[in-house]
């Protein structure tokens, strides 16, 4: 039997003036079967760091545990938070040394501002202002290209991210079953409640 995967996933990461917005849908599949309707695809790494996942569920969960441990060890040894770039570089090295069937967006906010990196299964590391992964990314990018602008606030970035994920779930058969949204600001990592997301979806429609 095929492993449970997030291969058809749609995730979005947006760099804003005052932080980061991550969003994803919630479907996990095994081939053509919808195996899980409430998959968690956004992870808190630290209060200033978060990530999204796509690919093998087992590989993704393993990677998140290792990254979280490395970030905690860095803080213990150095007495300060790791930078977003350094956390991404460590993650890149982990993937490069033992490739995992997973693609992740890692981002957060530090003394240099808000930053997002895309990491591929072989360890490739690319910085960008907004990124989408997965089978629905084509539809998500259509919204992101149209709606993203320099100086975008996190509040407005949340609306853009929800629009992008909603567009993907409307057109991509492998994406669906709800929306997850997280923000990272100077105040820390925050997951939006299901009710808040439903209200925003209603207002946007």
Question: Does 4 map to a domain?
Answer: no
- How many domains does the structure of the chain reveal? 1
Domain containing residue 115: CATH number: 3.60.20.10
pLDDT at 173 over 70: no
Question: Does 3 map to a domain?
Answer: no
Q: State pTM to two decimals.
A: 0.91
- Confirm whether 11 is a catalytic residue: no
pLDDT at 8 over 70: no
Question: Does 129 map to a domain?
Answer: yes
Question: Does 126 map to a domain?
Answer: yes
Contact 126, 133 (CB under 8 A): no
Question: Does 6 map to a domain?
Answer: no
Instruction: Give the domain range for residue 73.
Output: 11-204
Please tell me which residue in 9, 15, 115, 183 is annotated as part of the active site: 9
Contact 96, 123 (CB under 8 A): yes
Question: Does 150 map to a domain?
Answer: yes
pLDDT of residue 79: 94
Question: Does 2 map to a domain?
Answer: no
Binned at pLDDT 50, 70 and 90, residue 5 comes out as low
């Amino acid at each position: 039997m095929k492993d449970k995967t997030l291969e058809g996933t749609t995730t979005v990461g947006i760099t804003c003036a005052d932080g980061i917005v991550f969003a994803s849908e919630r479907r996990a599949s095994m081939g053509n079967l919808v195996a899980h309707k409430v998959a968690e695809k956004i992870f808190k790494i630290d209060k200033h760091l978060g990530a999204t996942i796509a690919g093998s569920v087992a590989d993704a969960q393993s990677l998140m545990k290792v990254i979280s441990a490395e970030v905690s060890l860095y803080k213990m040894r150095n007495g300060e938070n790791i930078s977003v770039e350094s956390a991404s570089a460590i993650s890149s090295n982990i993937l490069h040394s033992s490739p995992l069937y997973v693609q992740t967006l890692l981002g957060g906010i530090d003394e240099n501002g808000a930053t997002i990196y895309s990491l591929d299964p072989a360890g490739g590391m690319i910085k960008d202002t907004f990124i989408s992964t997965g089978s629905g990314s084509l539809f998500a990018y259509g919204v992101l290209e149209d709606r993203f602008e320099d100086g975008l606030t996190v509040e407005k970035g949340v609306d853009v991210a929800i629009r992008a994920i909603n567009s993907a779930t409307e057109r991509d058969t492998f994406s669906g079953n709800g929306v997850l949204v997280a923000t990272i600001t100077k105040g820390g990592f925050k997951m939006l409640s299901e009710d808040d997301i439903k209200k925003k979806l209603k207002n946007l429609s």
